Amino acid sequence: MESGLILQNVLTPPVLFFFLGTIAVFVRSDLEIPAPLPKLFSLYLLLAIGFRGGLELQKSGWGYPVIPTVMCAILMSLIIPLICFGVLRIKFDVFNSAAIAAAYGSISAVTFITAESFLENQGIPFDGFMVAALALMESPAIIVGLLLVKLGAPIRKKPSNRMRWKEILHEALLNGSAYLLVGSLLIGFITAANNPSALEKMQPFTGKLFYGAECFFLLDMGIVAAQRLPRLKQAGTFLIFFAIVMPIFNALLGVLVAKALALEAGNALLFVVLCASASYLAVPAAMRMTVPEAKSSYYISTTLGLTFPFNIVIGIPLYMSLVNKMIPLTT
Amino acid sequence: MESGLILQNVLTPPVLFFFLGTIAVFVRSDLEIPAPLPKLFSLYLLLAIGFRGGLELQKSGWGYPVIPTVMCAILMSLIIPLICFGVLRIKFDVFNSAAIAAAYGSISAVTFITAESFLENQGIPFDGFMVAALALMESPAIIVGLLLVKLGAPIRKKPSNRMRWKEILHEALLNGSAYLLVGSLLIGFITAANNPSALEKMQPFTGKLFYGAECFFLLDMGIVAAQRLPRLKQAGTFLIFFAIVMPIFNALLGVLVAKALALEAGNALLFVVLCASASYLAVPAAMRMTVPEAKSSYYISTTLGLTFPFNIVIGIPLYMSLVNKMIPLTT
Amino acid sequence: MESGLILQNVLTPPVLFFFLGTIAVFVRSDLEIPAPLPKLFSLYLLLAIGFRGGLELQKSGWGYPVIPTVMCAILMSLIIPLICFGVLRIKFDVFNSAAIAAAYGSISAVTFITAESFLENQGIPFDGFMVAALALMESPAIIVGLLLVKLGAPIRKKPSNRMRWKEILHEALLNGSAYLLVGSLLIGFITAANNPSALEKMQPFTGKLFYGAECFFLLDMGIVAAQRLPRLKQAGTFLIFFAIVMPIFNALLGVLVAKALALEAGNALLFVVLCASASYLAVPAAMRMTVPEAKSSYYISTTLGLTFPFNIVIGIPLYMSLVNKMIPLTT
Amino acid sequence: MKRLDLIFGERELTAMLESLEAVEVPGYTVMKHVTGRGPERVVSEDMEFTGLGANAHVIVFCEEIMLEKIKNKIEPLLNYYGGVAYVSEATPL
Amino acid sequence: MKRLDLIFGERELTAMLESLEAVEVPGYTVMKHVTGRGPERVVSEDMEFTGLGANAHVIVFCEEIMLEKIKNKIEPLLNYYGGVAYVSEATPL
Amino acid sequence: MKRLDLIFGERELTAMLESLEAVEVPGYTVMKHVTGRGPERVVSEDMEFTGLGANAHVIVFCEEIMLEKIKNKIEPLLNYYGGVAYVSEATPL
Ligand SMILES: Nc1ncnc2c1ncn2[C@@H]1O[C@H](COP(=O)(O)O)[C@@H](O)[C@H]1O
Ligand SMILES: Nc1ncnc2c1ncn2[C@@H]1O[C@H](COP(=O)(O)O)[C@@H](O)[C@H]1O
Ligand SMILES: Nc1ncnc2c1ncn2[C@@H]1O[C@H](COP(=O)(O)O)[C@@H](O)[C@H]1O
Ligand code: NA
Ligand code: NA
Ligand code: NA
């Protein structure tokens, strides 16, 4: 059954464009999406995800599954880095372990929207409030990561060895992508409450254009991911295994929690994908600033070069079949 | 009543995204829209405003209020800089006074479209020919500004002290933003006359996408405006007062003219907004070239850092209630 | 009759925006579309053309005119450079002749889509499979061009004088624009077969937005083309004549082949336009890499500064009236 | 050989390059979108979209004797619009 | 006069410029979106969108005596985050 | 220490950086989207979208003894495709 789902997933435009980008690198085509165009699509996607999530949240209200789901999501983003840290310490020092762990505790917005497209394609409904979970899972993992550094390596070799908490909270809560996502969520929420006619006028931009822009961005992500692969070899076999096995483990955890929350299949998949995905936006930027002792190529090659493609191509349908097994579709 | 209108205005997506940008600067988020993405949105908005204005102009024809309104608009862009110059000379030399005066005589296209969105949101109709007024108010103020320099400071200290009229007219009429706006207006006009099926095909780009792109651009304008604020302090209290009081005064002038022209409420508001807004595109660029003696931080901090946000947030609803008081809504 | 068609063609938004760009350069406006924004539009257009072509191809199937038309198109892209080379050798050395010949054997995607817009405007139907011809005509001319260099100049002065075939095939088949076009075509094809609901979701991006984006890009192409004109003078009268007369000759060849293939009027025009247009994307990039002995200003000024504008403005309607004379419209 | 570094407003780029061409420099390299602060003004990236433009950084490698000619040509521009010009030693690799 | 070339991560740009302002340099020029490789890491353009940023290249023309002050101010930053600083001769045109 | 400035077509960047890595330079800095004019051709920003690309400006700070090795490696590239290479003095701050 999984292989059928995987094929169905692979044959959608976003995943096909992702492959187109990946193959471009392997066959050494000079196809290139020059900076800052990827930034444009990245900003656009965050704005649109947030805005749409906000208005869905307004529609769905704060009824049963919303609050507990969001709280469990935050909890997962606190627990997962701890588990990852334990695993990573087998091979890596505190700095690298904490930085990689933080990335896996946090989320990838593009993996999330690919999962949404997958669900739409399968005709499985899901709720907009999951975007709130997405938005609120970005920051906690960063704080856990930095806490781990503080506890695990009390005396840091580098000159400025005191952890500046203000700076860390700042990075965790106010980094560009988290800020834009949460801000757009609020704007969507407020607009839906006060100004429904404005929603309609936003729809062509945040709604209709979304799928195409997602494809364009995934083309670039394919290029970027494939370019990270050679550097992954330097990172060693342990990290390569970690980048595949850890997401699956996190997904299993996620499924259990989703079942406990009695989430419907669509929301359950999104919850699982949040657990299984790893950050390549907010967390690396924050780690570069606050834990420069960690090798950035480690946390970037793994999240972007391996975990991201794995989730996009195989992970999502795999997690779906997991969800299907655990959570019977209610009709 | 104003406070109600202000709140209604503040709760629309464009203004909310403007705030999101402003707050990003105040809380020191690293949210950033790197160059040349703001230029992309700026070019897009000018093209779309022009094109839509052109086709509306074609539809509305040259009937009564069009010609006199456009002529009065041009007149205002000649008179306002003279008044401003008089006020500014109290504190500033000829060069700075003339440069700032020119900026306030000219217009801000983004303020204009925010006013249009405000009207749409309020359900108040307005006419496309106002875009023609917008397009034709950009250049005259530049010429007045340079004339003031010529008359007020006949012997300029800087080496090349003769005013090259060709260069000045060139800057006034052919600067990129004025050129694109007028050109797109003509293309919209011609297309509407000859090729109505092409209009429909342009509609998703110039029409449907517009509101969302406006929001995105206002996010950036929020960032830019907030970054100008600290430099405003250097400019001194006089200029800070000027940047708030002058637009209100110009708006009052505008309301009187609008009443004399018997404009309907919607068009009246747009007319007033043209008078009250100040240029941060065409004029600063032209002044930098032709009056390098003026401090660019003066005319940019005031127009972009204060007058623009003031108009966007408070000015538009304030002017609306002014218009409502002066011009009874005809139903 | 041609002059009527020319006027109808000139009064469409894409051509008007092209003129707006051209005039901006002549009147020395500082209107500018900074890099990498033109690249954004160029990538978008290739992606959208390819995707749409792919889905049309899926719809139309491989019935009669498809295979022979595509094969004749490839044949034309092999024959035309040979003829051009013969003509160019009168005045130029082997390197320059081969490089220019290759450009004229290849195609211009923007000329193609302007012809499509022209047909839509005239209400003349055409088939999506012509995009396959477009995609497959990009590469062969490059190979012919390099073959001509190899045969015509066996001992090259520059150090690395052996032709690296791998590198050449690589440039011909995997250059960014050919790769993206063919890849998007395949994705469109696969999606249309497996995932019709995804087509609908792509439509706002690849379909609705297309015409406006085309206009924006043509504005830039107008600027770029006009900036190439002064350098054309250096190239000399021979090349100026070549840049106008050769496309017409190639168009005549194309009409004969289109008649032999019994193509309908719409497809015939597109076929002719493929023959008559010259490449300024894939070929110059490939020639710069593999034949650095050729002066890049020669092949760029001619294709971009003269042949492209000629085709866009006069060529397309001219070829249409040619097609109309040769191929009676079947109703 | 000498290396000349010119930094000035992007809007003066055309005039500056014409001056350089007028004295027949052997070549030049241009970097746009440069920002900075000088004694006269702060140039920031976020103002580029307004048409004010950023700075341009132009590098010219040329013989020493050419410097005087360049200086005479471009000094009025630098004085009028602002900008800096510095010379260092450079030898071809 | 001296020319100081600083190359370091774009995310440290604000801190670096504040340091330069603190010692009152006469001016500086900034080039962003610069990539490269140092002993510590590879900085590539395609990672810019992630917020990691590219490098910045800052040029300062100043008197020799100022260099010591600059060095004291920015050395901690360069040591902590990486980056290079080189000095050459430069004379005003 | 020496500072090496290389300016050449962006399309040769990969080959050039591979050459530099082959002789084991300690690091390098790359600025893309550079335009200019040399004895052979004009490189303008507006042609970037065609895939022709602009120039790249590469800076290498290295020991003098390394220059000879670099020269041998990159000279064929510069001769075949064009471009310039200049050396100046530089001392670490
Ligand atoms: N001392 C300096 N060192 C480096 N760059 C400078 C210096 N002074 C000025 N500049 C550059 O030159 C530009 C124009 O300077 P100005 O017009 O004199 O304010 C500034 O924006 C800086 O980019
Ligand atoms: N030897 C060098 N020559 C030129 N640039 C260098 C050199 N070493 C380092 N860099 C630049 O400085 C940046 C930061 O270096 P680092 O943090 O030490 O790896 C690199 O990304 C390069 O752009
Ligand atoms: N004398 C020079 N000074 C500064 N840059 C130069 C000079 N000569 C050539 N260049 C740069 O090197 C690039 C390639 O030169 P070329 O291929 O020799 O025409 C040019 O586009 C310029 O950017
Ligand atoms: Na996660
Ligand atoms: Na005004
Ligand atoms: Na052709």
Q: Are B88 and B100 in contact (CB under 8 A)?
A: yes
* Ligand 3 site, residue D60, Cβ cutoff 6 A: yes
pLDDT band at residue D88 under the 50/70/90 scheme: very high
Query: Which of D78, D86, D87 best tests the E interface by mutation, with the highest count of E CBs <10 A?
Result: D86
Q: Which of F30, F32, F90 sits opposite E86 (nearest CB)?
A: F90
List, for residues C274-296, the tens digit of each pLDDT value: 999 999 888 888 888 888 888 88
List, for residues A98-127, the tens digit of each pLDDT value: 999 999 999 999 999 999 999 999 999 999
Question: Tokens in use for A313?
Answer: 């191509």
* Ligand 2 site, residue E84, Cβ cutoff 6 A: yes
CA neighbor of C266 nearest in space, from C120, C136, C134, C131: C120
Average pLDDT of chain C?
A: 91
Mean pLDDT of C17-44: 94
Average pLDDT of chain E?
A: 92
Q: Are D80 and B160 in contact (CB under 8 A)?
A: yes
Query: What are the DSSP calls for A205-244, one per residue?
Result: IIIITHHHHHHHHHHHHHHHHHHHHHHHHHH-HHHHHHHH
Q: Pocket of ligand 3, candidates F13, F16, F35, F37: which has the most ligand atoms within 8 Å of its Cβ, to mutate?
A: F37
Q: How far apart are CA F60 and CA B125, in angstroms?
A: 63
- Assign residue F66 the CATH number of its domain: 3.30.70.120
**According to the model, what pLDDT value does residue B286 have?**
86
pTM, 2 dp: 0.95
**According to the model, what pLDDT value does residue D4 have?**
96
Q: In this structure, is residue B76 part of a structural domain?
A: yes
Q: Do C180 and A31 touch (CB under 8 A)?
A: yes
Average pLDDT of chain D?
A: 92
List, for residues A43-64, the tens digit of each pLDDT value: 999 999 999 999 999 988 888 8
Proportion of chain B above pLDDT 70, given as a percent? 95
**According to the model, what pLDDT value does residue B97 have?**
95
**According to the model, what pLDDT value does residue C158 have?**
52
pLDDT band at residue C25 under the 50/70/90 scheme: very high
Q: In this structure, is residue B133 part of a structural domain?
A: yes
Proportion of chain B above pLDDT 90, given as a percent? 73
Q: Are B60 and B66 in contact (CB under 8 A)?
A: yes
- C-alpha E83 to ligand 2 mean position (Å): 6
Instruction: List per-residue pLDDT tens for chain E, 93 residues long.
Output: 999 999 999 989 999 999 999 999 999 999 999 999 998 788 888 888 888 889 999 999 999 999 999 999 999 999 888 999 999 999 999
Q: How far apart are CA A148 and CA A99, in angstroms?
A: 9
Q: In this structure, is residue C21 part of a structural domain?
A: no
- Asked if residue B315 has pLDDT above 90, the reply is yes
Proportion of chain C above pLDDT 90, given as a percent? 72
Contacts of C129 (CB under 8 A, 6+ apart): C53, C56, C57, C60, C65, C66, C69, C70
Which domain covers residue D84, as residue numbers? Answer: 2-89
Query: How do the residues of chain E divide into helix, strand and coil, expressed in percent and rounded to 5?
Result: 40, 40, 20
Q: In this structure, is residue C272 part of a structural domain?
A: yes
Strands E2-9 and F91-92: unpaired
Q: How far apart are CA B180 and CA B174, in angstroms?
A: 9
Helices and strands (H and E) in chain D: how many: 2, 6
CA neighbor of B246 nearest in space, from B294, B311, B320: B311
The alpha-carbon radius of gyration of chain E (Å, integer) is 13
Which domain covers residue A229, as residue numbers? Answer: 3-10+38-326
Q: Closest Cα to atom 5, ligand 3: which residue?
A: D28
Q: In this structure, is residue A58 part of a structural domain?
A: yes
Q: Looking at the CA of residue D30, tell me the nearest atom of ligand 3.
A: 23
Q: Do A201 and B211 touch (CB under 8 A)?
A: yes
Q: Are D16 and D6 in contact (CB under 8 A)?
A: yes
**According to the model, what pLDDT value does residue A64 have?**
83
Question: Tokens in use for A96?
Answer: 């690298």
Q: Hey, is C135 helix, strand or coil? A: helix
CB < 8 Å to E33, chain A = 35
Q: How far apart are CA A149 and CA B283, in angstroms?
A: 52
- Asked if residue A74 has pLDDT above 60, the reply is yes
- Assign residue B86 the CATH number of its domain: 1.20.1530
CB < 8 Å to E76, chain A = 159-160
* Ligand 1 site, residue E28, Cβ cutoff 6 A: yes
Half-sphere exposure of B117 (CA within 13 A, CB side): 34
Strands F55-62 and F28-37: antiparallel
Query: What are the DSSP calls for A9-59, one per residue?
Result: HHTSHHHHHHHHHHHHHHTT------TTHHHHHHHHHHHHHHHHHHHHHHH
Number of domains in chain C: 1
**According to the model, what pLDDT value does residue B159 have?**
47
Beta strands in chain A (DSSP E): none
List, for residues B153-206, the tens digit of each pLDDT value: 766 655 454 556 777 788 888 999 999 999 999 999 999 999 989 999 999 999
Number of domains in chain F: 1
Which residue carries 């066996």 as its tokens? C154
Q: Which chains touch A (3 or more CB pairs under 8 A)?
A: B, C, E
ipTM over 0.90: yes
Q: Hey, is D59 helix, strand or coil? A: strand
Q: How far apart are CA F11 and CA F43, in angstroms?
A: 12
F90: closest chain E residue by CA: E88
Average pLDDT of chain A?
A: 91
Query: What are the DSSP calls for C206-235, one per residue?
Result: IIITHHHHHHHHHHHHHHHHHHHHHHHHHH
Q: How far is CA F4 from CA C178, F7, F15, F82, F88, in A?
A: 36, 10, 17, 16, 7
Q: Are A35 and E45 in contact (CB under 8 A)?
A: yes
- Mark residue A32 as left, alpha or beta (left: phi above 0; alpha: psi -120 to 50; beta: remaining): beta
Q: Which of B170, B187, B209 sits opposite C17 (nearest CB)?
A: B187
Which ligand minimizes its atom distance to the CA of E24?
1
Half-sphere exposure of B139 (CA within 13 A, CB side): 19
Q: How far apart are CA F62 and CA F76, in angstroms?
A: 21
Question: Tokens in use for E81?
Answer: 């985050």
